Structure 1
Amino acid sequence: MNKEMIINASADGVEIALLEDKKLVELHYEHNNSAFAVGDLYLGKVKKLMPGLNAAFVDVGYEKDAFLHYSDLSPYIRSLLKFTNTAIRDNSPNGFDFGKFENEQEILKTGKITDVLTQKPEIIVQILKEPISSKGPRLSCELSFPGRFVVLTPFNNFVSVSRKIHSGEERKRLQKIVESIKPKNFGVIVRTAAEGKNTAELHADLLDLTNQWKTIQENLKGAHPPKRILSEQAKTTSILRDLLNESFQRIVVNEKGIMNETREYVSRIAPEKEEIVNFYHNGQPIFDHFGITRQVKAAFGKTVNLASGAYLIIEHTEAMHVIDVNSGTRAADGNQEESALKTNLEAAEEICRQLRLRDIGGIIIIDFIDMKLPDNKRKLYDYMTECMTTDRARHTLLPISKFGLMQITRQRLRPEINISTAEVCPTCKGTGKIGPSILITDEVEKDFRYLINQGHRKLKLHAHPMLVAYLKTSGFWRSLQWKWYRTYGVWLKLHTDNNYQMTEYHFFDQKTEEIIKL
């Protein structure tokens, strides 16, 4: 699969498009003033305990208090509270040695939040979900710091290896390497990308993450909540960190500063891929040049058309998302069951793309075209599962029910992307009203007369074909064009333009071919 990343930098922020085989599959926005992004660490203050919800509301500086559930506290919450207080009050120039930090006893998974956060303390929290709709951020105290090959987790000493690495020998090799280089009081999760990597590469990645922890200790000194302690990497580098592999063929950026940062990051994590980062300096907007704008307009409407003539209807409600598959103009090839299967398979691939592209989360109900054979239902479920393997968000699929519905749950970490594909009418400017069309010829004649009085003698009118046709009706000698010539002594040439609106027209001077401003 050929992967490309197109980065469009503007005054408002950065837009990042991820293409797979020239097809847009993910779209990310990073605004210049963005805050409360997933992965950011904050020093917060517990404001209210809710025993009924077994949760707490924490002030992290957002307009609404953030939500922290007991299940997101982490077994090491007492150690985290102790570390927070120690780091805030630490006066040593180089910070205290975290390797000698004494951990506290773990909490029970089935405990109560009122037994843990009794004094409404100050606490380090990590953004688990960005603010969505009327809700504040969702928080977690299970701190994790993802790198290219490993994920660092403080207050424990375990080492685990990704289950996606299937080789038993490779898993044992990575386990031994990480256990030998891991600093004390840190746990490490070895990512799938670490497969085949040597000790030096893993150690360099681990050092970067432990330096982040030292930065946290430094930023906590004398801090008062609410305060951001550490920001997640820029979205560009975080996507590269998670996705960069041998299938990435090109990264194109239209801003030199971001291009240099991206190239530096790529050269650090994958030196052999440095040449794939290119600078775009064509006059055309970068998203237009690579066909992304057209794909966005085609993919974000309520109706999504498929190549075969079938189409999807995507509806969003407060509780769930509903997707309806319709055969449209697709003609049955004699076998209705086989035709339904082909349409459903095509729709399944597009639905998986839409889930990633719009970042649709929560409960999703898909109404596929009815099929009678259990084998066909199984084929559709298996194909849908296969298409969803490229989705980084956690998800669960259920087989097609007896009502012909497929149910999906998908992780949602940030607000869903909704792009309006409707445009403001250039004629009425969104008001729904235009000037009386019956008076349009009077307006044209008035402007024509004004230009003649200004000394213009060679004029050409550009207008919609219907308006031009009307000016020529009633026979040549009785047309408005001939009538105006007899009245004003100036012949008005007429030119049709299909791009004009019904009542739009412009006068041009035939000598200079320049439009005349009225």
Structure 2
Amino acid sequence: MSKELVIDVQSDEIHIALLKDKKLQELNQEKKDNQFAVGDIYLARVKKLMPSLNACFVEVGFEKAGFLHYLDLGGQFNSINKFLKIVQKNKNTLSHLSKMQLLPDISKDGKISEAVSEGQQLLVQIAKEPISTKGPRLTSEISIAGRHLVLIPCGNKVSISQKIDSAEERKRLKNLLESITPRNYGIIVRTVAEGKTASVLDKELRGLVKKFENSLMDISASTKAPKLVLSEINRTETILRDILDDSIEGIYVNDRETYYDVKDYIQGIAPEMEKVVKREKGDIPIFEKYDINSQLKKGFGRTVSFGKQGYLVIEHTEACHVIDVNSGNRTKATDQETNALNTNMAAAEEIARQLRLRDMGGIIVVDFIDMNDSQHRQKLHSTMKEAMSGDRARHNILPLSKFGLMQITRQRVRPVQKIDVREACPTCKGTGKIEPTISIVDDIQNKIEQSPLKNIILQVHPFIEAYLNRGFWKTIRKEWQKKYNKKIVCQALSTLDISSFNIIDPNEIKKK
């Protein structure tokens, strides 16, 4: 299965689309001025204790205080705090975490009031972005993620990804990392570390340790919280770090600066993959060229079809997401049970894609078409697990209940992805009154006549583009070219409504 990454850089946002066999699987949107992301580490201040929740609210510089539960303090919370105090008093001891004596783990059944106090400074990391009316979810179990390893300061063990099946490889990695990991640091070995040499892993480990130590250089006794200590790499590089493998056949970028940033980043983590990074310079918008815009419109509506077999109805609520599976009009099976199985199996694949595409997290309830055969129900459960096996978010899938409902929990670290696919009425613009439809072409002609450009790219709705190019020898576009002595290229854009159009200078596009 081939994968491609398409990066669309706009003036205020970066859109990142992951395609598998040309089909849209994931979409990420990152604002250029976003200063608040999962993985960021802050020097924070405890604002208020909530003994009834066994938690506290913590100031991290966001408009709403972050939420830190006692269970998210982490076993080595006291050791992290001890090291923070040492750093604040004397920066010269920064590189000597390995010489510090770790304190015993805190009790799993303890109380928040026993661990922290109001006004106390502590290191926290963003675990979940603010969602709805809630502030960010925080943790004091600090971790710094790399491509192959995750560093855990004040940890004391090496953990291997469960997705590495080979017992021999697991043993090799464990022995290797235990021999090179500094004292008082823990390591989580990621799946992509399988088969990597000692030099590659040692180089990354040293880089992660240096990154953590350097992040604390600016902290002193006079430092006021909240303060950003270590910022996670941007969303683009995070996605590259997590998905980059041999199946990536192309990374396409439409912006010069971002192109070089991506190329430099990949050169640092996987030099052999540098050749797949390509810059798109054409005058066609990159999401239009790779058919992403049309897939977005089809994939983000309330109703989503999956071939001729049926369609999904997706509803979002504050508590959970609900998906209803419905069969289509065309069915090849002769009996209801077989038809239900075939429809449900196809729906499972589309549901797994929708969860990734919309980044739906929390509780998802799926109402499949009822099936009486227990083997069919088990087969559907296995198919759903297989379809979601490649999902990077943690998830759990329960078997079908007696009511035909499947419950899924999926890790939620940011708000659900929402794209409004509804379009304003292209003729009345919401007024309820329309201009004569024949005037659309007249408006275009008038603008072309008034334009000083000799070479024009005319962006219009696909219906208008087909109308202007209708015929072979004698078309409206060719008549305009001859009449106004201008070269006109018609470009169909599905993102435009039927009455909108753009006249663009090709030279301006080439400069980008």
Asked if TM exceeds 0.5, the reply is: yes
Which residue in the other structure is 1:280 paired with?
A: 280
Which residue in the other structure is 1:329 paired with?
A: 329
1:284-331 CA distance string (max 9 Å, x none): 111110011111111000000111151110011111111011112223
CA contact (8 A) 1:266 1:274 kept: yes
CA distance in 2, matches of 1:199, 1:219: 32
Which residue in the other structure is 1:185 paired with?
A: 184
How far is the alpha carbon of 1:83 from its aligned partner?
2.0
How far is the alpha carbon of 1:233 from its aligned partner?
0.9
CA change 1:173–1:513 in 2 (3 A) is same
How far is the alpha carbon of 1:96 from its aligned partner?
4.8
Specify the structure having the higher radius of gyration (Cα).
1
CA change 1:498–1:5 in 2 (3 A) is closer
CA distance in 2, matches of 1:58, 1:265: 34
Q: Name the SS of the counterpart of 1:389 in structure 2.
A: coil
1:49-69 CA distance string (max 9 Å, x none): 000000000001111111000
CA contact (8 A) 1:159 1:178 kept: yes
Equivalent position amino acid for 2:112 in 1: I
State yes or no: 1:198 paired with 2:197. yes
CA contact (8 A) 1:36 1:137 kept: no
* TM-score scaled by length of structure 1: 0.83
How far is the alpha carbon of 1:23 from its aligned partner?
0.8
CA contact (8 A) 1:14 1:30 kept: yes
* TM-score scaled by length of structure 2: 0.84
Which residue in the other structure is 1:89 paired with?
A: 89
Q: How does 1:305-384 map to 2 (within 5 A)?
A: 305-384=305-384
State yes or no: 1:269 paired with 2:269. yes
Q: Name the SS of the counterpart of 1:183 in structure 2.
A: coil
Which residue in the other structure is 1:260 paired with?
A: 260
Which residue in the other structure is 2:51 paired with?
A: 51
Which residue in the other structure is 1:467 paired with?
A: none
CA change 1:223–1:378 in 2 (3 A) is same
1:386-411 CA distance string (max 9 Å, x none): 00101111111111111111111111
How far is the alpha carbon of 1:426 from its aligned partner?
2.5
State yes or no: 1:103 paired with 2:108. no
1:103-147 CA distance string (max 9 Å, x none): 222210110000010353111100000000110000000111111
CA change 1:511–1:78 in 2 (3 A) is closer
Equivalent position amino acid for 1:48 in 2: K
How far is the alpha carbon of 1:338 from its aligned partner?
1.1
Equivalent position amino acid for 1:186 in 2: Y
CA distance in 1, matches of 2:318, 2:91: 49
CA distance in 1, matches of 2:400, 2:160: 33
Which residue in the other structure is 2:454 paired with?
A: none
Where does structure 2 lack aligned partners over 5 or more consecutive residues? 447-466, 471-478, 486-512
Equivalent position amino acid for 2:22 in 1: K
CA change 1:326–1:513 in 2 (3 A) is farther
CA contact (8 A) 1:90 1:96 kept: no
Which residue in the other structure is 2:425 paired with?
A: 425
CA contact (8 A) 1:73 1:140 kept: yes
Name the count of aligned residue pairs.
Answer: 451
CA distance in 2, matches of 1:13, 1:497: 33
Q: Name the SS of the counterpart of 1:349 in structure 2.
A: helix
CA contact (8 A) 2:51 2:113 kept: yes
- Worse-superposed segment, 369-378 or 326-335: 326-335
CA distance in 2, matches of 1:135, 1:35: 17
Which residue in the other structure is 1:36 paired with?
A: 36
Equivalent position amino acid for 2:289 in 1: H
CA contact (8 A) 1:84 1:122 kept: no
CA distance in 2, matches of 1:415, 1:381: 27
Equivalent position amino acid for 2:185 in 1: F
1:426-453 CA distance string (max 9 Å, x none): 222234x216x8xx79x99xx9xxx9xx
Q: How does 1:213-228 map to 2 (within 5 A)?
A: 213-221=212-220, 222-228=222-228
Where does structure 1 lack aligned partners over 5 or more consecutive residues? 452-495, 500-507
1:19-54 CA distance string (max 9 Å, x none): 111111111111111122100011110000000000
CA contact (8 A) 1:145 1:151 kept: yes
Equivalent position amino acid for 1:211 in 2: K
CA distance in 2, matches of 1:179, 1:201: 15
CA distance in 2, matches of 1:327, 1:52: 48
Equivalent position amino acid for 2:24 in 1: L
Which residue in the other structure is 1:166 paired with?
A: 165
Moved runs in structure 1, 4+ residues, more than 6 A? 496-499, 508-511
1:156-192 CA distance string (max 9 Å, x none): 2211211221222111111111111111210111111
CA change 1:91–1:207 in 2 (3 A) is closer
Q: Name the SS of the counterpart of 1:188 in structure 2.
A: strand
- Worse-superposed segment, 136-145 or 98-107: 98-107
Q: How does 1:64-83 map to 2 (within 5 A)?
A: 64-83=64-83
Which residue in the other structure is 1:176 paired with?
A: 175
Q: Name the SS of the counterpart of 2:389 in structure 1.
A: helix
1:460-490 CA distance string (max 9 Å, x none): xxxxxxxxxxxxxxxxxxxxxxxxxxxxxxx
CA change 1:116–1:421 in 2 (3 A) is same
Equivalent position amino acid for 2:269 in 1: I
Q: Name the SS of the counterpart of 1:219 in structure 2.
A: coil
CA change 1:402–1:257 in 2 (3 A) is same
CA change 1:96–1:266 in 2 (3 A) is closer
Equivalent position amino acid for 2:137 in 1: R
Q: CA RMSD in A?
A: 2.4
CA contact (8 A) 2:49 2:118 kept: no
Which residue in the other structure is 1:454 paired with?
A: none
Equivalent position amino acid for 2:341 in 1: L
CA distance in 1, matches of 2:3, 2:316: 30
Which residue in the other structure is 1:461 paired with?
A: none
CA change 1:135–1:510 in 2 (3 A) is closer
CA distance in 1, matches of 2:361, 2:281: 36
Q: Name the SS of the counterpart of 1:385 in structure 2.
A: helix
Which residue in the other structure is 1:208 paired with?
A: 207
CA distance in 1, matches of 2:468, 2:189: 63
CA distance in 1, matches of 2:289, 2:234: 24
Equivalent position amino acid for 2:51 in 1: P
CA distance in 2, matches of 1:214, 1:249: 36
CA distance in 2, matches of 1:139, 1:119: 16
CA distance in 1, matches of 2:162, 2:480: 73
CA change 1:309–1:383 in 2 (3 A) is closer
Which residue in the other structure is 2:300 paired with?
A: 300
Which residue in the other structure is 1:20 paired with?
A: 20
CA contact (8 A) 1:44 1:124 kept: yes
CA contact (8 A) 2:361 2:410 kept: yes
